[in-house]
Structure 1
Amino acid sequence: MSRRRSRHDSVRKTTTTPDLSARIDLHCHSTASDGTLTPAQLVRAGAAAGLTVMAITDHDTTGGWAEAEAARPTGLTLVRGAELSCIWHGAPGWPIALHLLAYLFDPAEPVLAGKLARLRENRARRGERIVDNLRADGVPISWDEVAGYAAGGSVGRPHIAQALIRAGLVATTAEAFASEWLGARYLVPKEDLDVFDALRGIRAAGGVAVFAHPRASKRGRVVSDELIEALADEGLFGLEADHEDHSPAERAQIRALAERLGLAVTGSSDFHGTHKTVALGAFLTAPETFEKLVSAATGVPVLG
């Protein structure tokens, strides 16, 4: 048994017996970032979809936690988390963007909280620049409208897409993300966290980190196995394998890599409401993996 596998197994011990009938979706978004359901609507929809465990993982924010907690239906376990926007500078050519799912971290831990605040501020400035550029070309949208779609949450391109749809310029979010709109012509780069700094911040806040959709080649360039090995050495908990943007071959690759490195494997819908066609619970995490994740976290408990 390798040194890496032994170290991770020792961290992930659990003393509870997992509920093998649990239906667990660990990657869901609300209007606190770029979903179309409010946090309250999200947890109710999760229960209606037959989930017994779900995570709220809005981009770079914990802003939906309180509403989700207050509205959590009886019988639904809520995992509080966030999806962190990261970047790896070690790739040849140019950096690669990636996402880390952070679970059960202490939102009051000052270092990670500060990193998330800076990301949200950058998202807002970026959104305003995109809107300004669109308006300069005569597109009839406003920043107040876009910010209103975010409802006090983290502003993203999907909110600008909603304004373009309202204006009758595109029919869908996917069309708004095409190259002639937000995909290239009006794209403004956003600030991301160095992936190693982000991982250390999650762990320092008592959280557990899972690499989101690591082989989603349809989204663009993907990172090397060497980066994932280095992240495993820094305490990465797992890899998200079962995801709509992974082909069967990519899922198999992730499982093989996770097995070699002693990492957990998760599955999740990455639900965004009407911004995506995937349904809640389309992909699930095994109950025994979830129990290990909970055991590894020291930031905040699950609710339920």
Structure 2
Amino acid sequence: MRIDLHSHSTASDGTERPAEVVWRAREAGLDVLALTDHDGVGGHAEALANLPDGLTLVPGMELSCRRDGMSIHMLAYLFDPDHPGLARETALIREARDGRAAEMVARLIDLGVPITLEMVERIAGGGVIGRPHVARAMLAVGAVADIEEAFSNRWIGSGGRAHVARYALDPVRAVELTRAAGGVAVLAHPRSAKRGRVVPDAWIADMAAAGLTGIEVDHRDHTTTAREELRGLAKDLGLVVTGSSDDHGALTGHRLGCETTAPEAYEALLDARP
């Protein structure tokens, strides 16, 4: 059984609609896929309506978190999206994303980049707006040579001239809300050094004490050493080890299934539901 527990669609910053994501997943030989768009579940209905035979869809989302200025992402699975506390927080995060996009565009215009908020919204296509949409607009007008350049500290990367912080949850609170909504939480790519997200072990221990279920260990951004360290930490804290593609469609080279979760780990996540 091949299991990928982290993917994105046009409901946030992926390049393919949810219907295409699930079909691509099946073509990639996957048996289980989690659709984890940022801070919302807008793609779930379309994905379920177009689910190919032989593929199980795990409902999920990737929650935006922050602690001491560091951006942290939390994968939430199998939760009730109508849970009042969780729904309220995700609505606040999405509203903050919209305001952030407008401010980033204004800063980029001041820096001589000829984009508009309408361009970014058109690229987002009604999905949750994120920095990748701004980056794609910058690429479209020739302001950058590629998406990676847009995310540098020269532009919209952390500390960049057009970077704007926004509202996000403390990761412990994200774990607590996910659990309260009947779901399980897995910390996403905590050793993604190139993104500036090396989450301290002490913070992960705090999350584990609050009910964190797992750590995404096998991820393209993690070195072999980082994976070994995280496996040891997961064992010490009693956490499930997962692996996922974090596919964003064309933005990441259509890599569904490039990293996977072991069947026994997937079963452990299902068993961990409150």
Aligned residue number for residue 108 of structure 2 = 134
Any residues of structure 2 matched to 1:135-154 within 5 Å, and which? 135-154=109-128
Aligned residue number for residue 172 of structure 1 = 146
User: Secondary structure of 1:209's partner?
Assistant: strand
Any residues of structure 2 matched to 1:89-238 within 5 Å, and which? 89=68, 95-183=69-157, 184-238=160-214
Stretches of structure 1 that go unaligned for 5 or more consecutive residues are 1-21, 90-94, 299-304
Tell me if 1:297 matches 2:273: yes
Distance 1:149 1:112 in 2: 27
> Quick check: which has more Rg, 1 or 2?
1
Does the 8 Å contact 1:269/1:278 carry over to 2?
no
Deviations 1:114-167 (A, max 9, x none): 000000000000001111222234422211111111111110111111111211
Deviation of the 1:221 alpha carbon: 4.6
Aligned residue number for residue 12 of structure 1 = none
Aligned residue number for residue 301 of structure 1 = none
Distance 1:237 1:138 in 2: 45
Distance 1:260 1:295 in 2: 20
Aligned residue number for residue 246 of structure 1 = 222
Does the 8 Å contact 2:72/2:197 carry over to 1?
no
Does the 8 Å contact 1:141/1:163 carry over to 2?
yes
- Among candidates 71, 79, 87, match of residue 66 of structure 2: 87
Distance 1:169 1:108 in 2: 41
Does the 8 Å contact 2:190/2:197 carry over to 1?
no
Distance 2:141 2:40 in 1: 28
Deviations 1:22-80 (A, max 9, x none): 10000001111111111111111111111110000011111111111111111110011
Moved over 4 A (4+): none
Does the 8 Å contact 1:24/1:285 carry over to 2?
yes
Question: Which sits farther off after the overlay, 57-66 or 129-138?
Answer: 129-138
Q: Give the root-mean-square deviation of aligned CA atoms.
A: 1.3
Matched letter for residue 166 of structure 1: A
- Among candidates 241, 246, 251, match of residue 265 of structure 1: 241
Matched letter for residue 130 of structure 2: G
Count, aligned residues: 272
Distance 1:212 1:84 in 2: 10
Matched letter for residue 107 of structure 1: P
Report % sequence identity: 51
Aligned residue number for residue 36 of structure 2 = 57
- Among candidates 11, 21, 27, match of residue 6 of structure 2: 27
Distance 2:262 2:215 in 1: 13
Matched letter for residue 245 of structure 1: D
Distance 2:225 2:111 in 1: 43
Stretches of structure 2 that go unaligned for 5 or more consecutive residues are none
Does the 8 Å contact 1:40/1:72 carry over to 2?
yes
Distance 2:48 2:42 in 1: 11
Deviations 1:225-255 (A, max 9, x none): 2221221111110111100010001000010
Matched letter for residue 14 of structure 2: G
Matched letter for residue 243 of structure 2: G
